[in-house]
Amino acid sequence: MSKKQIKLEARDINAYYGDFHALKGINVAMEEKTVTAFIGPSGCGKSTFLRIFNRMNDYIDGFKTEGEILLDGENIYAKNVLVDELRKRVGMVFQKPNPFPKSIYENVVYGLKIQGMSNKAALAEAAEKALHQAALWNEVKDNLNKSALALSGGQQQRLCIARALAISPSVLLMDEPASALDPISTAKIEELIHQLKEQYTIVIVTHNMQQAGRVSDTTAFFYMGELVEHAKTKTIFTNPKDKRTEDYITGRFG
């Protein structure tokens, strides 16, 4: 692999929902400005692992994490870390679109407003830029004050992407961002991921093998809470080391 800096690193991550051992001893490193795809059968822990990186699991009763996540070399689970500051650096797009019950514009600028930005012109400019990036601008530019809940599912998801991009995080976590989208919007999102790679480190969960093949540099295969294999995407798809990986990508289970 190239000599890029390590952006995100998981060290001996174990996670539990109560007694259920959801993630088992995971070690993985992701270089900056790359796209990593998480694949694996339903329920194997992809979403759980993704949420580890911005500590969204903190809100689940009975959830417990062991191990370290290093973001730029610093452990985000250290005692003195402020989670809200962490999340300004690590953005997230959820599996189901979850726009706020406000206008399209308010959705996009929310992240900036809570950081104290109040200049109207600057906010409007940032909103336009983010909506362009998320390939939504042309569809909504004439009714930015319309309720976000009135958008279609695919549009809502792109709005959520725009919302996450507006605060310029350095890492973007995406949990099946295209599962609710039609092929055209999906293509737009994939195109977007290609462009975002210039600035962002991206982790994307996907059930779509072709998508993983198209957008990612490396792919991690999870199975029953374990990280089975993490390698260059091409390697995973053409020459997997583990029998389970091979079975999965050739569609023998999952």
Ligand X SMILES: Nc1ncnc2c1ncn2[C@@H]1O[C@H](COP(=O)(O)OP(=O)(O)OP(=O)(O)O)[C@@H](O)[C@H]1O
Judged by the rule CB under 5 A, the positions of this chain that interact with Mg ion are 47
The binder of 44, among another protein, Mg ion, ligand X, none, by C-beta within 5 to 8 A per type, is: ligand X
Q: How far is the CB of 27 from ligand X (least distance, A)?
A: 18
**Residue 149 identity (one-letter amino acid):** L
Which of residues 34 and 54 has its CB atom nearest to another protein in the complex? 54
Is residue 43 at the binding interface for ligand X, with CB under 6 A as the rule?
yes
Whole-angstrom Cα distance, residue 175 to residue 224?
18
Binding site partner of 85, from ligand X, another protein, Mg ion, none, Cβ cut-off 5-8 A by kind: another protein
174 binds ligand X (CB under 6 A): no
Please give the helix or strand (H or E) that residue 9 lies within, else none: strand 6-17
| Minimum CB–partner distance for residue 83 and another protein (Å) | 8
Size of the residue set binding ligand X (CB under 6 A): 12
61 binds, options another protein, Mg ion, ligand X, none, Cβ within 5 to 8 A by partner type? another protein
Q: CA 209, CA 237: separation in Å to the nearest integer? A: 9
Instruction: For Cα atoms 3, 248, 172, give the angle at the middle one, nearest 5 degrees.
Output: 45
Q: Which residues are 29's β-sheet partners?
A: 9
Task: Rule CB under 6 A: say whether 154 interacts with ligand X.
Answer: no
List 36's β-bridge partners, or say none: 203, 218
Q: Smallest distance, Å, CB 5 to ligand X?
A: 28
Best CA proximity match to 45, nearest among 69, 17, 18: 17
Give the whole-angstrom CA distance, residue 243 versus residue 122: 53
Q: Are 157 and 180 in contact (CB under 8 A)?
A: yes
| Among the listed residues 129, 154, 123, 153, the one whose alpha carbon sits nearest the alpha carbon of residue 141 | 129
Binding stretches for another protein (CB under 8 A): 54, 56, 59, 61, 83-88, 91-92, 94, 96, 98-102, 110-111, 113-115, 147, 149, 160, 163-164, 167
Residue whose CB is less far from another protein, 53 or 222 = 53
CB of 13 to ligand X, least distance (A): 13
Strand-pair partners of 30: 8
In sequence order, which ranges of 104-145 are alpha helices (DSSP H)? Answer: 104-113, 120-133, 137-140
Nearer to another protein, 169 or 240 (CB): 169
Under the criterion CB under 6 A, does residue 97 sit at the interface with ligand X? Answer: no
Nearest to 93 by CA among 118, 113, 111, 73: 111
Give the nearer residue to another protein in terms of CB position, either 21 or 88.
88
CB of 26 to Mg ion, least distance (A): 16
**Residues in the site for ligand X, rule: CB under 6 A?**
17, 20, 22, 40, 42-48, 60
